[in-house]
């Protein structure tokens, strides 16, 4: 059975994944519209979203944690627009 990851650690890992998506290297030809590049970046951002998406639904989630999750969702959307558009 997998080990449970505390909410604070999930938030930290999600931010790390967002940064990883921003630093993901462009393809050799420099085309950021390469389908494999887009898929890799979207997958990294999906992983970040999946890490935190259930935190607000847990009974132990404080209002600060819920606010942090909301900020992370906004960061993910901003990173998506920033990187791919």
**How much is the pLDDT for 30?**
86
**CA nearest 73: which of 57, 47, 53?**
53
* CA–CA gap between residue 69 and residue 56 (Å, rounded): 7
What's the CA gap between 71 and 40, in Å, rounded?
Answer: 22
Residue 76 near residue 45, CB atoms below 8 Å: yes
Q: Which residue has the higher pLDDT, 78 or 32?
A: 78
At 1, the pLDDT band (50, 70, 90 cuts) reads: low
39-51 mean pLDDT? 97
Distance of alpha carbon 73 from alpha carbon 7, whole angstroms = 15
Q: What does the domain layout of the chain look like in residue ranges?
A: 7-84
Let me know: does 7 contact 59? Beta carbons within 8 Å: no
């Amino acid at each position: 059975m997998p080990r449970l990851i505390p909410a604070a650690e999930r938030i930290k890992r999600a931010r790390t994944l967002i940064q990883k998506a921003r630093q993901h290297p462009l393809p050799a030809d420099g085309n950021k519209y390469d389908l494999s590049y887009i898929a890799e970046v979207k997958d990294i951002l999906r992983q970040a979203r999946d890490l935190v998406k259930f935190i607000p639904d847990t009974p132990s989630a404080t209002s600060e944690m819920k606010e942090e999750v909301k900020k992370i969702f906004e960061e993910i959307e901003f990173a998506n627009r920033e990187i791919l558009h």
